Amino acid sequence: MDEGEWVVSQRDLQRMHVVRLTLEGRESVERGAKLLGISSRQFKRLRKKARERGVEGVLHGNRASKPWNRTVIEVIKKVLQLAKGRYQGLNDTHLTEKLREKESVRLSRATVRRILRQGGVAAARKHRAKRHYKRRERKAQEGELLLWDGSPHRWLGESGSKCTLVVAIDDATGALLHGVFAEQEDAQSYLSCLKELLVEKGIPLAIYMDRHGIFKRNDAHWTLEEELAGERIPTQVGLALKSLGVEPIFALSPQAKGRVERLFETLQDRLVSELRLAGIRTQDRATAFVNGPFKSDFNRRFAKPPQQTQPAWRKVPRGLDLDRICSFRYEATVGNDNAVRVAPVILDIPEGPRHRGYAKQRVEVRHLLDGRWRVYLKDELLLETDKPDLKMPLRTVRRRHRERSRGVTFSLSS
């Protein structure tokens, strides 16, 4: 049979060529066997078949035969007919089960799938390909973009209770900027972190974060005030960022926060050991440790120099009250008794100049991070309470979805 009549692969052509060289005496048997990766004994059998049968002897003996498990045409037609008729809409696995149980057609799922795709029957459920994520280049300037997030873990050792570490890092350098340990990921932790960043570094241009309810309003309810204004009232953290002019950027997937997620993997491996070696078992001491010697050592080892040496941090304006900005803000109406009620808290406003009263005035109530309360009428400070003796975790006071004629009703939530 002429060689051109066979549809052969490059591997088969190579076998033919090497065998022909040995038959013509231009290569030795040992060299030919080595080139084909087979033993000399097997190569000699190939040479014998080539002498007796020509090129056909070099090719595999089963080349012209049909596979034993080839599905017959009648079965293929039946599968396609059932898939387009009685069993229309079934997925591949479900259809395979029905064929076996109801139609006595025993085929594997892979075979049924191949028959359906080649027969033009699409999959019942669309399986999207994995989304392609491209590596995002770092920002050029320090302070141009910050990333912050929280991670619950047994930071204080296996014997300690699980707590959350909230950290902020710089995108341009990957440097650890500040960390706060807390019982759980809450607004107080992020406001504390933000205040320390403002004191140490200044005001960043933007902060990258997830779509947690701490940062973004995810409920569908719009109050009458929001409908009239045409925008949602931000969360407590959102109000602070808006007051500073910091742009919040919300990630659409966990992969989008890859840098800060990888940071937590490193911290869970390294920081836990450092806290154990330092004998630290409390959150306050752990916060001081992570912002002290640990941060310096970590940044020395892992931080990268920015592309541009000129930082993008904006200086905090002189006279800007950071305690007021980084606090919990509420609006309320002063009662006829010159008192403001925020959940169980009653704040008595002292009389103003010339025995002035403030009944029915709309005021701004601030709950500071150290536990103090302030009441403002625009920018006029009407009341400031003393710092409480016991340090208690702050709670967010959320407004209910209705207002009463005497003011705003509040409720407490963790």
How is residue 72 written in tokens?
A: 């017959």
Q: Which residues pair with 178 in a beta bridge?
A: 168
Backbone angles phi, psi at 115, to 5 degrees: -65, -45
Quick one: pLDDT at residue 405?
32
- The stretches in the chain having pLDDT less than 70 are 1-9, 55-57, 59-71, 125-135, 254-256, 390-414
What residue type is assigned to position 355 of the chain?
A: H
DSSP 204: -
- Do 406 and 295 fall within a single domain? no
Nearest to 165 by CA among 184, 188, 147: 184
Count of domains for the chain: 4
pTM of the model: 0.64
- Do 93 and 238 fall within a single domain? no
Backbone angles phi, psi at 343, to 5 degrees: 55, -130
Cα of first residue to Cα of last residue in the chain, in angstroms, is 86
- Do 165 and 88 fall within a single domain? no
- Do 298 and 193 fall within a single domain? yes
According to DSSP, the β-strands at 339-342 and 345-348 are: antiparallel
Quick one: pLDDT at residue 299?
94
Quick one: pLDDT at residue 412?
36
- Do 297 and 336 fall within a single domain? no
Quick one: pLDDT at residue 2?
44
What's the domain range around 345?
Answer: 327-413
Pairwise CA distance, residues 157 & 159, whole Å: 5
The tens digit of pLDDT for each residue in 351-361 reads 988 889 999 99
Quick one: pLDDT at residue 64?
58
